[in-house]
Amino acid sequence: MPLPFQPGTVLRSRYRILELIGQGGMGAVYKAEDLRLTGRLCAVKEILPDMGGQQADIAQMQDQFYREASTLARLDHPSLPKVSDYFTENGRELLVMDFVPGRDLRELVDEARQNATFLAESDVLDWAVQLCDALEYLHSQDPTV
């Protein structure tokens, strides 16, 4: 597994890494600044390949990455971050998408648990409606996403 990008690293002469947002077995997500569109923040998602694969497997994975990235870039829904760019740099597959500020659901649930409270029912129902709306949109695409 490659080392995470360090803050200040510039990718594709355009995206300056500001910080690592999260990391897992499938990759890492960074908050970045778009140097071409001044003031625009974005999320750069690194997709980590299976390093045990043969060269032919890696080439097939890269082809699949570009097909999937092209599909994601065509999606346009208010509940989905917009993918604006994708590229390979030094053998690392990267997606650039909207940066969505704020806390994620895990943080909200953990905070409620620590405070021995529950999430507001109205909030949970609102999130469920947004999720169902996004899923309906994704499943209406051809091919289905």
> What's the predicted TM-score (pTM) here?
0.84
pLDDT digits (tens, 9 = 90+) for 26-74: 789 999 999 999 889 999 999 876 656 666 677 787 888 888 889 889 9
Ranges of beta strands (E only) in the chain are 10-11, 15-24, 27-34, 41-47, 83-89, 92-98
What is the DSSP code (8-state) at residue 48? Answer: P
Residue 63's identity, in one-letter code, is D
Q: Which residue has the higher pLDDT, 63 or 112?
A: 112
pLDDT at position 75 over 90:
yes
pLDDT digits (tens, 9 = 90+) for 118-143: 999 999 999 999 999 999 999 999 88
pLDDT at 27: 86
End-to-end CA distance of the chain: 28
pLDDT at position 76 over 90:
yes
Question: Is the preceding peptide bond at 78 cis, omega within 30 degrees of 0?
Answer: no
- Confidence category of residue 8, pLDDT binned at 50, 70, 90: very high
pLDDT at 96: 97
pLDDT at position 25 over 90:
no
pLDDT at 79: 93
Return the minimum-mean-pLDDT range out of 10-19, 64-73, 107-116, 123-132.
64-73
pLDDT digits (tens, 9 = 90+) for 88-105: 998 899 999 999 999 999
Residue 58's identity, in one-letter code, is I
Sorted by where each starts, the structural domains of the chain and their CATH numbers stand as 1-101 (3.30.200.20), 102-145 (no CATH)
pLDDT at 120: 95
Other C-beta atoms within 10 Å of 43: how many?
19
